[in-house]
Chains A and B, each alone.
Chain A
Amino acid sequence: VKKSRRCVGDKNTKSVFCLPPQTFDKILIANRGEIACRVIKTCQKMGIKSVAVHSDVDASAVHVKMADEAVCVGPAPTSKSYLNMDAIMDAIRSTGAQAVHPGYGFLSENKEFAKRLAAEGVTFIGPDTHAIMAMGDKIESKLIAKAAKVNTIPGFDGVVETADDAVKIAQQIGYPVMIKASAGGGGKGMRIAWNDEETREGFRFSSQEAASSFGDDRLLIEKYIDNPRHIEIQVLADKHGNALWLNERECSIQRRNQKVVEEAPSTFLDSVTRRAMGEQAVQLAKAVQYSSAGTVEFLVDSKKNFYFLEMNTRLQVEHPITECITGLDLVEQMIRVAKGYKLLHKQEDIPINGWAIESRVYAEDPYKSFGLPSIGRLSQYQEPLNLSNVRVDSGIQEGSDISIYYDPMISKLVTYGATRAEALSKMEDALDNYVIRGVTHNIPLLREIITHPRFISGDISTNFLPEVYPDGFKGHQLEVGNRRELLASAAALYITAQLRSQKVLGNLRVSSTPVECTHWELCAELGEGLYSMEVEVDGGKVEVSGQWNLASTLLPLTINGTDRMLQFKVRVLSKLAAELNSYMPEKVAEDTSSILRSPMPGSVVAVSVKPGDTVAEGQEICVIEAMKMQNSLTAAKQAKVKKVHCKPGETVGEGDLLVELE
């Protein structure tokens, strides 16, 4: 159970862990997946019994197995299970849990939930209701921040009622503007608009998404700061008016406003800016009598001006990197604070020890808009825990299903080093050693980001991905040397398999004079290209050796003396087969302009056309919702609608035919 996490900051945290203070006997974790597992681990460390809640499809999930007790709170859809307050309150009563840790998302920033807990005398491990209310509402939070002398972004401090209002306000502020859900967070219900038309569309999508994600469709609009960095300050406060800032996290690498790679500290901040941001964050926390762990998010422009974005009154997804560099266990601190203990540390006790990087490993296809959700069963799964200074926070295991119901995050992969370079190089190794099969995942993109010269130099912004990959992520482009190594490895694998096929045990009817082969002429298919090679056993150029076999999921190879960890799929053919292959006809690909297929699994929210309609190029045909994101699918050409194969409310799989055009 404990193997899936290795705390990389152990030496700093020991003194704190020796004497866990008496807090609660039993905590219920109102969440699922990796964060539920993460909280349960700290509970175990502190000798607290844990209660998991789960939906029926999660009955055999990891967090359920880890917890001391588990209660089913409803069917798969989150609105009926993890957001089902009645069922969760029942679970609290039936298990006698004294406190609830909400994790992130779901009910973590739900004031109603916090109120109901308080009414029953159950401790909410998080800030008080008034702080959630104050900071949960983006409009109110901005006003409070202004009052607390925190820098804020120019914008409209009120709720936008209609699309026309939105356009009016946007024109007043000046484009570009950001439309976002008042209750929102995590990039959901958030759209950027550069003109009136986009504002209208953004208004519609954001309010729908906000309604389905948060049950609150109020929106607000503010000036969109172009090319900013997203840097956030972790704060920790107790119920006695003490508050600390635990340094920053750089979260600029994002796609569709969702974070992908985070690091702590930031390469961009100097100690003066860091202190200024930290102090403003603490001012804000104190202004709302904040207690528990929280995060104040800032946008930082190229001149190191910073603007308050929002405050997250919960544990953040990316908290592990702060734990790595400060040595604090944030969940433990939250539990202590919730019990009413004073903070153990003073501001000067908070160190920045080394560097930590976090990669969010998602079940998604990085080749489609930097990541469209993918679902499936993890047929093979192996975390790179054989490496030192690697922490993996995950809530899944081999055989788990990634379903359409929940967030497609597989894990948070955290690496730590004395320097940034060390942490980065460890991250590269860790990504190479990570085995995920059965679902499409974003490791290729993650690896590409953390090895990109711009990222390495620290020259990043929230526009990093679209700037670096203007035409979308196309996968790693192999250099000649690397390609040779890969081809040589593929050849080695092929030949090993061929030779193995000749080893039939105990069968005397195998030819006594096997074809002696020390020289192979092969051809490998790599991407679009075909590469021919000659392989000589014992004599030649690229040397490949290593300890592996044909059942290995990972190939640890020594190629020309360099150690590499490889996972690849390369089709290797004998020279003859490759030659004959040139006669094989190319299969005619489907004409994709006249059909619309679902790019991802999800459910159909709306179908905007019916047979016989004429659609213009780019016109919306239908909307698919997957993992709480609404995606508008448009016509690739002007045509008449021939047939509609889907209807609203239907669940569709990736590649399912939705609409045919003539």
Chain B
Amino acid sequence: MMAAFSVARSSCGLINGLRVSFRSLAPVKHGAVAAAALQTSLLPDCRRYSVGHLSVKERIDMKRKAALVGGGQKRIDAQHKRGKLTARERVELLLDPESFVESDMFVEHRCSDFGMEQDRNKFPGDSVVTGRGRINGRLVYVFSQDFTVFGGSLSGAHAQKICKIMDQAMTVGAPVIGLNDSGGARIQEGVESLAGYADIFLRNVLASGVVPQISLIMGPCAGGAVYSPALTDFTFMVKDTSYLFITGPDVVKSVTNEDVTQEELGGAKTHTTVSGVAHHAFENDVDALLNMREFFNFLPLSNQDPSPIRACHDPSDRLVTSLDTIVPFETTKAYDMLDIIHAIVDERDFFEIMPSYAKNIVVGFARMNGRTVGIVGNQPKVASGCLDINSSVKGARFVRFCDAFNIPIITFVDVPGFLPGTAQEYGGIIRHGAKLLYAFAEATVPKITIITRKAYGGAYDVMSSKHLRGDVNYAWPSAEVAVMGAKGAVQIIFRGKENQAEAEAEYVEKFANPFPAAVRGFVDDIIEPATTRKKICRDLEVLASKKQVNPWKKHANIPL
């Protein structure tokens, strides 16, 4: 690549230089921000109607102005004091500058009970900001719940606004990002609020697999409200300021007599490490929103769009020599699958999903020669990379997302099998493990598999094997595809035989290598690890035109 900065507007994509000027080098302490009120200039000669003393234009301006400050400056300050941004600040930061097109700014709630009909209880736009905008030029629909208006509680009008943009997103095929910060149902509205939730849930379900749906929990989200994020493709949280739970600590105390804090019950740490409800947690609002932009770059806009390809600076034929030594000689020794992933993908850029939950499997998004891919890998570093209930479910959901949205799947296999034990069997490892098997088998996107070391037993079949329609299956020279490890196998095959060590050596010689799989065509090639990136990039180019259709069905019946 010649000179440095390719700017979209310059015809040749190059400019000679870029100049930076430092107007003030003094460190920025606090910027003046941002519930920026519109400069309204009232025209003196505008037409007035007979009702009231304000012209329509003036009333429009007033409403807009009111909508921009939500629940008012006091509540905005309170929101800031909690370390949270306002609904509008969030939208502004998430979207490209000046790209936000707001809808339903004039919608107000329709509740007339409990004094809600009074003017002071009416807020233009109610407790949510909705609209569309762009992230790096790509269309997205957004709703952002406004905690400063009735604690972001969900009224009929609030739900209606969300439903409207979801319907539009479905019509044009664009993702929906929800920024959740809501105290729950608008109790004053009663059943209307519940109906509103249901309307949203229905749309979440209908949109599932049609457009990507992302929830970013940036405040409380409790009760029935949690099911909207739960139905979306990804749920992200903000550390220390966001909570997700069915019932709060008080109810928990009264029902089960457990003492638990909000944070312990439904904080970011709980959901990203224990429950697996959330897919990632970010440090704060700004961090979360900026990361959301990066994350969005990986996604196609809808199931009708191909996996996006971004301009790539990392050579697709780069040899990764460090991989030649990464797998230790002793089969019992661990290594970090993330090292392999980082070294192979473009620019070491890997967006890991659920990095702290079921760490024996690694899933996430990356790019290969600019094209988004989904990566699934067993993690030998944690529990030897075995498959258990949690890792199967984590893997399965990720694989299904990729398949739904045309994202090729690259699977790195080093799996000693399924985790044995009563805890797993009683927990239903059979039906949960089946999910991952099911997901890989039904996927029709390009599937490339690399066996780095162990591929034992049923877990070998599960991990995107040739038999499940893997398009390209590679083995590294260190690969061992077998029913089980040498020791266990020998105890069965040569039960009672004296010289177990010799039998073990024979087994290792025969099975602890890639040949048994390679001679049967179950792996397409045995490749030098250093060439893995190059091969995957080439294969993806070929597989870009892959067409595969599953038999017609109303919908498949994944073992839930």
Contact = CB atoms under 8 A, between A and B. Distances in A.
Interface string A414-439: 00000000000000000000000000
Given A500-B310, A502-B136, A515-B96, A535 B2 contact: no
Interface in B363-420: 370
A509 B174 CA distance: 10
A457 interface: no
5 contacts: A503-B8, A504-B138, A543-B18, A548-B1, A584-B283
A575 B32 CA distance: 11
Interface in A509-552: 509-511, 514-516, 518, 523, 529-552
A540 B21 contact: yes
Interface stretch (B216-224, B320-328, B426-434): B320-328
Most buried by B among A484, A491, A529, A532: A532
B559 interface: no
A514 B329 CA distance: 52
Secondary structure call for the B interface: loop
A142 B190 CA distance: 95
A579 B138 CA distance: 25
B53 interface: no
Contacts of B98: 515
B9 to A, nearest CB: 5
Interface in A321-374: none
B24 interface: yes
B7 A584 contact: no
A509 B306 CA distance: 11
Nearest to B32: A579
A587 to B, nearest CB: 7
Nearest to B80: A583
A510 B137 contact: yes
B27 to A, nearest CB: 5
Contacts of A461: none
Interface residues of A, number: 75
Interface string B410-451: 000000000000000000000000000000000000000000
A299 B75 CA distance: 71
A653 B314 CA distance: 33
Nearest to A381: B322
A15 interface: no
A511 B137 CA distance: 5
Nearest to B326: A399
Given A515-B137, A541-B20, A547-B1, 7 more contacts: A56-B329, A399-B322, A484-B25, A491-B18, A534-B23, A539-B19, A541-B19
Given A538-B15, A585-B284, A499 B6 contact: yes
A518 B20 CA distance: 11
B144 to A, nearest CB: 14
Task: Please tell me the size bucket of the interface on B.
Answer: 35 or more
B346 interface: yes
B30 interface: yes
Nearest to B283: A587
B351 to A, nearest CB: 13
Interface string B208-242: 00000000000000000000000000000000100
B34 interface: yes
Nearest to B9: A516
B115 interface: no
A250 B393 CA distance: 62
Interface string A486-501: 0110011001101111
B362 to A, nearest CB: 16
A547 B324 CA distance: 30
A435 to B, nearest CB: 13
B8 A492 contact: no
B139 interface: yes
A537 B7 contact: yes
A499 B20 contact: no
A580 interface: yes
Given A500-B310, A580-B85, A543 B137 contact: no
A537 B311 contact: no
Contacts of A379: 322, 339, 342-343, 348
B20 A491 contact: yes
A488 B6 CA distance: 16
Contacts of A271: none
Nearest to A541: B21
A658 B453 CA distance: 35
Interface string B286-310: 1101100100010001000110111
Nearest to B290: A577
A436 B523 CA distance: 36
A582 B19 contact: no
A570 B518 CA distance: 47
Most buried by B among A480, A495, A573, A579: A579
B345 to A, nearest CB: 11
Given A541-B19, A550-B347, A584-B83, A496 B283 contact: no
B379 to A, nearest CB: 15
A576 B92 contact: yes
B36 to A, nearest CB: 11
A613 interface: no
B19 A507 contact: no
B16 interface: yes
Nearest to B1: A549
Given A379-B342, A504-B138, A582-B30, A499 B8 contact: yes
B79 to A, nearest CB: 9
Given A379-B343, A577-B290, A531 B17 contact: no
Contact of A579 (B31, B99, B348): B31
A510 B16 CA distance: 26
Contacts of A491: 18, 20
A287 interface: no
A313 interface: no
Nearest to B327: A60
Interface in A76-132: none
Nearest to B30: A582
A52 B245 CA distance: 61
Contacts of B15: 537-538
A229 B309 CA distance: 60
Contacts of A587: 240, 283
Given A551-B314, A579-B34, A581-B286, A533 B7 contact: no
Given A398-B321, A504-B138, A484 B89 contact: no
Contacts of A511: 99, 134, 137-139
B321 A397 contact: yes
B322 A536 contact: no
Contacts of B104: none
Contacts of B556: none
B309 to A, nearest CB: 4
Contact of A502 (B8, B17, B34, B301): B8
A161 B314 CA distance: 63
Interface string A555-599: 000000000000000000101111111111101000000000000
Contacts of B284: 584-585
B31 A537 contact: no
Nearest to B20: A488
Contacts of B28: 523, 530-532, 578-579, 582
B21 A534 contact: yes
A617 to B, nearest CB: 33
A505 interface: yes
A504 B322 CA distance: 30
A582 B24 contact: no
A499 B137 contact: no
A506 B309 contact: yes
Contact of A551 (B137, B313, B330): B313
Contact of B137 (A502, A505, A531, A537): A502
A442 interface: no
A377 interface: yes
Interface string B20-54: 11111101111111100000000000000000000
B5 A584 contact: no
B285 interface: yes
A400 interface: yes
